[in-house]
Amino acid sequence: MTRQQQNAPIITIDGASGTGKGTISQLLADRLGWNFLDSGALYRVLGLAAQKHSVALDNEPALEVLAQHLDVQFIARKNDFPRIILEGEEVTDLIRTEKIGNAASIVGALPAVRTALLSRQRDFREAPGLVADGRDMGTVVFPDAELKIFLLASLEERASRRLKQLKERGINVTLHDLIEELRARDRRDKERAVAPLKPAEDAICIDTDPLTIEQVVERMMSEIYQKKAFPATLNPVNKITDMSVAE
Ligand code: C5P
């Protein structure tokens, strides 16, 4: 890791599926002009690669090797999620299905897989800074982050947000099925032995149920304002002139 990477400040945003964390993290990264790590996408790509190469989701040694050699590229885009290329093929949308989300959650419970993906995630730390989105960003991957946020939302609210997203994409599912899937995924994420989903001790928890996406981003910007931990030259708010969020 270069000196520039070591010095780049980090904001971690962790939380369960459907808390809006992906959209919020990406908006915040754009707002600050920082790099963005969607760590869930990495686990999803591994789930897809396992499917592609017919590797069983409980074959830990084979998945570890697959994770170590994963040929994946994240191509950053302004005002959008990164494009994701697996073995030369665009998989940006392909990894967003519920099936691949479940595969990601199964492979993510395997300790050897998590270790294999650690340095790949840490490589995203680059100047001028990084917004890292996931489950264990503040607890395991970047425990020295300057600002740690943990997003909360009720199961029902998360399921109805997900239902809306899927409907917009023309995918038909029932609210009941989504609630059951989220419940199962929560259980797996919270109860796994390594890097379980939980807030870091020094994380700021935000309940997103009563807030819009823009309000959550605003709340984070005010935390950044107040945060003394950012060195003056790196403090993102020193570089921002327009603090308003686009409607
Ligand atoms: O955030 P997203 O829904 O894309 O993540 C998919 C799955 O990947 C999660 O349900 C979780 O099990 C796993 N994951 C993880 N650690 C992370 C990010 C995601 O275990 N840092």
Mind listing the pLDDT tens digit for each residue in 187-209? 888 888 888 899 999 999 999 99
Candidates 3.40.50.300, 1.20.1560.10, 1.20.120.430, 3.40.50.2000; CATH matching 3-210: 3.40.50.300
Cα(122) to centroid(ligand 1), Å:
16
CB 37 within 8 A of CB 131: yes
* All structural domains of the chain with their residue ranges: 3-210
Mutate to test the pocket of ligand 1, among 23, 36, 42, 43 (most ligand atoms within 8 A of CB): 43
Instruction: Identify the residue with better confidence: 226 or 91.
Output: 91
CB atoms within 10 A of CB 66: 19
* Cβ–ligand 1 contact at 114 (below 6 Å): no
List of residues 6+ apart from 44 with CB closer than 8 A: 95, 96, 100, 101, 103, 104
* Cβ–ligand 1 contact at 17 (below 6 Å): yes
pTM: 0.89
Q: Is the pLDDT of residue 124 over 50?
A: yes
Per-residue pLDDT at 247: 32
Per the structure block, which two tokens stand in for 153? 């939302």
pLDDT tens by residue, 207-221: 999 999 999 999 999
What is the average pLDDT value for the chain, to the nearest integer? 89
pLDDT interval class at 244 (50, 70, 90): very low
H helix intervals, 33-169: 39-52, 60-68, 98-107, 111-122, 155-168
* Cβ–ligand 1 contact at 101 (below 6 Å): yes
- Distance, CA of 9 to CA of 17 (rounded, Å): 25
Per the structure block, which two tokens stand in for 211? 């807030």
CB 148 within 8 A of CB 172: no
Per-residue pLDDT at 195: 87
- C-alpha closest to that of 34 among 179, 141, 145, 118: 145
